[in-house]
Structure 1
Amino acid sequence: MPGSHGEDPGDSPMAVFPLASGHAAAMPRLLDLDSRGELTTAHVRLVAQALGKAERTVWRWLAAAREDHRLARMESSHFTVTTEVRRLLALWGGNASRVHAELVQRAADDPDAPPHTYRARAP
Protein backbone atom coordinates (compact mmCIF):
# COMPACT_ATOMS: atom_id res chain seq x y z
CA MET A 1 0.00 0.00 0.00
CA PRO A 2 1.56 3.34 -1.00
CA GLY A 3 2.63 5.50 1.94
CA SER A 4 3.05 2.52 4.27
CA HIS A 5 6.28 1.21 5.73
CA GLY A 6 6.13 -1.71 3.32
CA GLU A 7 6.67 0.38 0.20
CA ASP A 8 8.36 -1.23 -2.74
CA PRO A 9 12.14 -0.85 -2.23
CA GLY A 10 12.42 -0.04 -5.92
CA ASP A 11 10.66 3.28 -5.34
CA SER A 12 13.29 6.01 -5.22
CA PRO A 13 12.86 8.35 -2.27
CA MET A 14 12.73 12.09 -2.83
CA ALA A 15 15.61 14.08 -1.37
CA VAL A 16 14.87 16.70 1.26
CA PHE A 17 18.40 18.14 1.23
CA PRO A 18 20.84 18.68 -1.64
CA LEU A 19 23.16 15.68 -1.83
CA ALA A 20 26.50 17.48 -1.46
CA SER A 21 25.58 19.66 1.51
CA GLY A 22 23.49 16.93 3.15
CA HIS A 23 26.30 14.40 2.81
CA ALA A 24 28.83 16.89 4.20
CA ALA A 25 26.60 17.65 7.18
CA ALA A 26 25.54 14.09 7.97
CA MET A 27 28.79 12.14 7.71
CA PRO A 28 30.67 13.73 10.63
CA ARG A 29 27.62 13.22 12.86
CA LEU A 30 27.19 9.59 11.79
CA LEU A 31 30.90 8.93 12.36
CA ASP A 32 30.70 10.54 15.79
CA LEU A 33 27.77 8.32 16.71
CA ASP A 34 29.66 5.32 15.32
CA SER A 35 32.80 6.09 17.33
CA ARG A 36 30.73 6.19 20.54
CA GLY A 37 28.91 2.95 19.67
CA GLU A 38 25.57 4.75 19.37
CA LEU A 39 25.01 4.52 15.60
CA THR A 40 21.80 2.71 14.72
CA THR A 41 20.09 1.67 11.53
CA ALA A 42 17.48 4.34 12.27
CA HIS A 43 20.18 7.04 12.01
CA VAL A 44 21.35 5.70 8.67
CA ARG A 45 17.77 5.31 7.43
CA LEU A 46 16.99 8.94 8.33
CA VAL A 47 20.03 10.25 6.43
CA ALA A 48 19.25 8.03 3.46
CA GLN A 49 15.67 9.28 3.30
CA ALA A 50 16.70 12.93 3.69
CA LEU A 51 19.23 12.66 0.87
CA GLY A 52 17.09 10.50 -1.42
CA LYS A 53 19.56 7.62 -1.33
CA ALA A 54 19.31 3.95 -0.41
CA GLU A 55 20.33 2.90 3.11
CA ARG A 56 22.98 0.66 1.56
CA THR A 57 24.56 3.71 -0.06
CA VAL A 58 24.88 5.49 3.29
CA TRP A 59 26.40 2.35 4.84
CA ARG A 60 28.94 2.30 1.96
CA TRP A 61 29.76 5.96 2.63
CA LEU A 62 30.36 5.11 6.28
CA ALA A 63 32.58 2.17 5.38
CA ALA A 64 34.63 4.37 3.04
CA ALA A 65 34.93 7.07 5.70
CA ARG A 66 36.12 4.51 8.26
CA GLU A 67 38.60 2.90 5.86
CA ASP A 68 39.99 5.94 4.03
CA HIS A 69 39.34 8.57 6.73
CA ARG A 70 37.51 10.73 4.20
CA LEU A 71 34.18 12.44 4.52
CA ALA A 72 33.68 13.75 1.00
CA ARG A 73 33.03 11.85 -2.19
CA MET A 74 36.00 11.14 -4.36
CA GLU A 75 35.57 12.86 -7.66
CA SER A 76 35.85 10.52 -10.58
CA SER A 77 38.13 11.51 -13.39
CA HIS A 78 36.52 11.97 -16.73
CA PHE A 79 37.95 10.70 -19.97
CA THR A 80 37.90 13.21 -22.79
CA VAL A 81 37.68 12.07 -26.37
CA THR A 82 40.26 14.24 -28.09
CA THR A 83 41.04 14.57 -31.77
CA GLU A 84 43.90 12.09 -31.28
CA VAL A 85 41.61 9.55 -29.64
CA ARG A 86 39.14 9.92 -32.53
CA ARG A 87 41.99 9.37 -34.98
CA LEU A 88 43.08 6.22 -33.13
CA LEU A 89 39.50 4.94 -33.01
CA ALA A 90 39.27 5.38 -36.78
CA LEU A 91 42.67 3.75 -37.27
CA TRP A 92 41.71 0.73 -35.14
CA GLY A 93 38.21 0.38 -36.57
CA GLY A 94 36.45 1.49 -33.38
CA ASN A 95 38.31 -1.06 -31.23
CA ALA A 96 38.41 0.87 -27.92
CA SER A 97 40.43 -1.88 -26.24
CA ARG A 98 43.19 -1.53 -28.83
CA VAL A 99 43.12 2.28 -28.55
CA HIS A 100 43.47 1.98 -24.78
CA ALA A 101 46.40 -0.43 -25.13
CA GLU A 102 48.14 1.99 -27.50
CA LEU A 103 47.59 4.96 -25.18
CA VAL A 104 48.94 2.99 -22.21
CA GLN A 105 52.00 1.98 -24.25
CA ARG A 106 52.60 5.58 -25.33
CA ALA A 107 52.41 6.72 -21.71
CA ALA A 108 54.86 3.99 -20.65
CA ASP A 109 57.29 5.02 -23.41
CA ASP A 110 57.16 8.73 -22.48
CA PRO A 111 59.58 9.55 -19.63
CA ASP A 112 57.90 12.95 -19.11
CA ALA A 113 54.40 11.50 -18.74
CA PRO A 114 52.80 11.69 -15.29
CA PRO A 115 52.46 8.39 -13.40
CA HIS A 116 49.67 6.22 -14.78
CA THR A 117 46.84 6.06 -12.25
CA TYR A 118 44.75 3.39 -13.96
CA ARG A 119 44.13 0.43 -11.70
CA ALA A 120 43.03 -2.79 -13.34
CA ARG A 121 40.13 -4.57 -11.71
CA ALA A 122 40.84 -7.86 -10.03
CA PRO A 123 39.50 -10.85 -12.01
Structure 2
Amino acid sequence: MAVQVEPAAIQVPASGGNVSLQLMNGNPEVRFAFKLKSSNNEHYRVNPVFGFVEPGAAAQVEVIRQNGPPKGDDKLEICFAGAPPDAGTPRLSSLLDLRASSRSTFLWLLHEYGSGTI
Protein backbone atom coordinates (compact mmCIF):
# COMPACT_ATOMS: atom_id res chain seq x y z
CA MET A 1 0.00 0.00 0.00
CA ALA A 2 1.34 3.43 -0.86
CA VAL A 3 -0.02 5.24 2.21
CA GLN A 4 0.94 3.86 5.62
CA VAL A 5 -0.53 4.92 8.95
CA GLU A 6 1.53 5.17 12.13
CA PRO A 7 0.65 4.05 14.70
CA ALA A 8 -1.48 1.16 13.43
CA ALA A 9 -3.76 1.32 16.50
CA ILE A 10 -4.26 4.04 19.06
CA GLN A 11 -5.23 3.95 22.68
CA VAL A 12 -6.94 6.88 24.37
CA PRO A 13 -8.61 7.27 27.77
CA ALA A 14 -12.40 7.09 27.70
CA SER A 15 -12.24 10.31 29.71
CA GLY A 16 -10.74 12.03 26.64
CA GLY A 17 -7.40 12.77 25.05
CA ASN A 18 -5.50 13.50 21.84
CA VAL A 19 -3.36 11.28 19.61
CA SER A 20 -1.41 12.25 16.49
CA LEU A 21 -1.31 10.01 13.42
CA GLN A 22 1.16 10.14 10.57
CA LEU A 23 -0.08 9.33 7.07
CA MET A 24 3.07 8.46 5.14
CA ASN A 25 3.19 8.41 1.35
CA GLY A 26 5.79 5.87 0.25
CA ASN A 27 5.29 6.65 -3.43
CA PRO A 28 7.79 9.24 -4.71
CA GLU A 29 5.62 10.17 -7.70
CA VAL A 30 1.95 10.11 -6.63
CA ARG A 31 0.11 12.66 -4.53
CA PHE A 32 -2.74 11.22 -2.47
CA ALA A 33 -5.89 12.86 -1.15
CA PHE A 34 -7.35 11.50 2.08
CA LYS A 35 -10.61 11.61 4.00
CA LEU A 36 -11.17 10.29 7.52
CA LYS A 37 -14.43 8.76 8.75
CA SER A 38 -15.19 7.75 12.33
CA SER A 39 -17.65 5.07 13.41
CA ASN A 40 -18.32 7.17 16.53
CA ASN A 41 -18.75 10.86 15.70
CA GLU A 42 -20.25 11.52 19.12
CA HIS A 43 -16.94 10.92 20.92
CA TYR A 44 -14.26 11.39 18.23
CA ARG A 45 -13.11 14.38 16.22
CA VAL A 46 -10.34 14.41 13.63
CA ASN A 47 -8.41 17.35 12.24
CA PRO A 48 -8.05 17.67 9.32
CA VAL A 49 -10.86 15.53 7.94
CA PHE A 50 -9.63 16.04 4.34
CA GLY A 51 -6.13 16.66 3.04
CA PHE A 52 -3.26 15.70 0.79
CA VAL A 53 -0.14 13.62 1.34
CA GLU A 54 2.54 14.81 -1.05
CA PRO A 55 4.83 12.32 -2.83
CA GLY A 56 7.39 10.85 -0.42
CA ALA A 57 6.07 12.98 2.46
CA ALA A 58 3.84 12.63 5.52
CA ALA A 59 0.73 14.40 6.78
CA GLN A 60 -0.22 14.68 10.44
CA VAL A 61 -3.78 14.08 11.66
CA GLU A 62 -4.99 14.79 15.18
CA VAL A 63 -7.54 12.39 16.70
CA ILE A 64 -9.45 13.88 19.64
CA ARG A 65 -11.48 11.68 22.00
CA GLN A 66 -14.25 13.42 23.95
CA ASN A 67 -15.19 12.21 27.42
CA GLY A 68 -17.74 9.40 27.22
CA PRO A 69 -18.39 5.73 27.88
CA PRO A 70 -15.95 3.31 26.24
CA LYS A 71 -17.07 1.22 23.28
CA GLY A 72 -15.21 -1.80 22.02
CA ASP A 73 -15.93 -1.42 18.32
CA ASP A 74 -14.89 2.15 17.49
CA LYS A 75 -12.83 2.53 14.35
CA LEU A 76 -11.45 5.20 12.09
CA GLU A 77 -11.59 4.68 8.33
CA ILE A 78 -8.91 6.44 6.31
CA CYS A 79 -9.85 6.65 2.62
CA PHE A 80 -7.28 7.75 0.08
CA ALA A 81 -7.07 8.16 -3.68
CA GLY A 82 -4.46 9.37 -6.15
CA ALA A 83 -4.72 13.11 -6.75
CA PRO A 84 -3.50 15.24 -9.65
CA PRO A 85 -0.70 17.67 -8.77
CA ASP A 86 -2.92 20.68 -9.53
CA ALA A 87 -5.88 19.60 -7.35
CA GLY A 88 -6.49 22.52 -5.01
CA THR A 89 -8.93 21.38 -2.35
CA PRO A 90 -9.40 17.72 -1.45
CA ARG A 91 -12.93 18.31 -0.18
CA LEU A 92 -14.15 19.74 -3.46
CA SER A 93 -12.04 17.69 -5.81
CA SER A 94 -13.71 15.01 -7.88
CA LEU A 95 -10.80 12.73 -6.97
CA LEU A 96 -12.53 12.15 -3.64
CA ASP A 97 -15.41 10.30 -5.22
CA LEU A 98 -14.35 7.58 -2.84
CA ARG A 99 -16.79 4.98 -4.11
CA ALA A 100 -15.02 4.62 -7.44
CA SER A 101 -11.28 4.99 -7.12
CA SER A 102 -10.16 4.85 -3.52
CA ARG A 103 -8.62 2.48 -1.04
CA SER A 104 -9.28 2.38 2.67
CA THR A 105 -7.46 1.33 5.76
CA PHE A 106 -9.02 0.92 9.19
CA LEU A 107 -7.56 1.99 12.50
CA TRP A 108 -9.03 0.44 15.63
CA LEU A 109 -9.64 2.92 18.43
CA LEU A 110 -8.85 1.22 21.72
CA HIS A 111 -9.91 2.69 25.06
CA GLU A 112 -8.10 2.70 28.36
CA TYR A 113 -10.07 2.45 31.50
CA GLY A 114 -8.63 1.72 34.87
CA SER A 115 -5.34 -0.13 34.53
CA GLY A 116 -6.38 -2.35 31.61
CA THR A 117 -7.34 -1.95 28.01
CA ILE A 118 -9.93 -3.41 25.72
TM-score with structure 1 setting the length = 0.20
Q: Which protein, 1 or 2, shows the higher relative CO under an 8 Å CA cutoff with sep ≥ 6?
A: 2
Per residue, is there more helix in 1 or in 2? 1
Per residue, is there more strand in 1 or in 2? 2
TM-score with structure 2 setting the length = 0.20
Q: Which has the larger radius of gyration?
A: 1
